[in-house]
Amino acid sequence: MKNYQTIILSNLEISPGYWRMRILAPGFAAAAAPGQFVMLRPELALPTMLRRPFGIFRTGCLPPECAGLPPREYMEILYKIVGQGTRIMSDLHAGDRVELLGPLGRGFTINDTSCAKILVGGGIGLVPLFLLAEALIDKGHQVRLLMGGRTRDDVLAVTEFERLGVETYVSTDDGSLGEEGLVTKVLERKLSKYPCAEVYACGPMPMLAAVERICSERNVPLQVSLESHMACGVGACLGCVVKGAGHSDQRPNYLCTCKEGPVFAAGQLDWGRAVNTEGGCPEGGCR
């Protein structure tokens, strides 16, 4: 984990409302594990002030700009414009300065079993799955990605997964790309096909709650990556907690999304009520 004062290499809109930012970050790739995140802030960020959390999408290396210079290591995030902070970020250009803290948090645990590895992404929730797919394929696993979005505009970067050798299945709510319907329907169908499977999921809370129900009914191991508003990203502010398994007012079991997560084994969390009302499901509400 490092606090980088660095620059943007590129910042491009890849789909309406979705942006891809590449940031110079020497030494980052070797430190980053699949599922980890960063806290990012433009150096001149007024009127916003706090860093924002972003999942790590990819890491890589560019050839030197001139002969003799070292290669340029970078990390990438994909982000959706959801408020003032992300809108300001979308106005930034190559060469603009950012402060980047990371990699942070606990990522995915990779189990070397022969079970089918199924990745489920909803919209921008696809982000932390790329490094995971890369790591699984490196270890010789076959990887399937089930990618869901409301419309074709919400389905991102699927071809990049295909180039890795991932089998991809796209579904959209309106049928504008791939199969019409929810990604969870595709998941149910796939799970009935494999005698043994493991699922890794990231997406909006209602999707994660449905994925959890489907997996627990079938005794399929599930890891989920959660999102939350955060102030610090390092476990100090306690602003990003989720209810852990067995949580009650008498015996509180709050877990920090930033430090104990953002990736959790499904069994660590309290699924009885919505785990986190932010950006997702109002308490009890939306299944």
Partner 1 sequence: MNAKRPSLAVNVAGIELRNPVMPASGTFGYGEEYSAFVDLKKLGAIVTKGLSLNPKAGNPMPRIAETTSGMLNAIGLQNVGVDTFVEKKCPYYRVLDTPVFANFFGNTLEEYGEVARRLADVPEVTALELNISCPNVKQGGIVFGTDPKAAAEVVSLVRKHNDKPLIVKLSPNVTDITVIARAVEEAGADAISCINTLTGMAIDIRTRKPKIANRTGGLSGPAIRPVAVRMVHQVVQAVKIPVIGIGGIMTASDALEFLIVGARAVQVGTANFIDPAAMLAIIDGIEAFLVEEGLEDINQVIGSLSL
Residues near partner 1 (CB under 8 A) are 1, 3, 41, 46-51, 85, 99, 101, 228-232, 234-242, 249, 252, 254, 276-278
Please state, as a whole number, how many other Cβ atoms lie within 10 Å of the Cβ of residue 34: 22
Q: Give the separation between CA 152 and CA 275, rounded to whole angstroms.
A: 28
Least CB distance to partner 1 at residue 230 (A): 8
Q: Give the separation between CA 76 and CA 130, rounded to whole angstroms.
A: 11
For partner 1, the closer of residues 112 and 249 by Cβ is: 249
Q: Classify burial at 70, counting beta carbons within 10 Å of its beta carbon; exposed 0-12, middle 13-18, buried 19 or more.
A: exposed
For partner 1, the closer of residues 62 and 82 by Cβ is: 82
Q: Give the separation between CA 215 and CA 83, rounded to whole angstroms.
A: 33
For partner 1, the closer of residues 52 and 144 by Cβ is: 52
Look-up: residue for tokens 């802030």? 41
For partner 1, the closer of residues 50 and 115 by Cβ is: 50
For partner 1, the closer of residues 90 and 277 by Cβ is: 277
| Strand boundaries in 63-178, DSSP class E | 72-80, 97-104, 116-122, 143-149, 167-172
Least CB distance to partner 1 at residue 228 (A): 8
Least CB distance to partner 1 at residue 13 (A): 23
Least CB distance to partner 1 at residue 33 (A): 16
For partner 1, the closer of residues 194 and 254 by Cβ is: 254
CA–CA distances in Å: residue 30 to residues 34, 101, 117, 259: 11, 15, 24, 20
In order, the DSSP letters of 111-123 are P--SSEEEEEEEG
Least CB distance to partner 1 at residue 234 (A): 6
For partner 1, the closer of residues 21 and 274 by Cβ is: 274
Least CB distance to partner 1 at residue 133 (A): 29
Nearest Cα to Cα of residue 4 among 74, 66, 54: 74
Least CB distance to partner 1 at residue 77 (A): 18
Evaluated on CA atoms 163, 142, 132, 228, the torsion sign reads positive
Q: Give the separation between CA 8 and CA 94, rounded to whole angstroms.
A: 5
Query: What SS3 class is residue 106?
Result: strand
Least CB distance to partner 1 at residue 86 (A): 12
For partner 1, the closer of residues 51 and 144 by Cβ is: 51
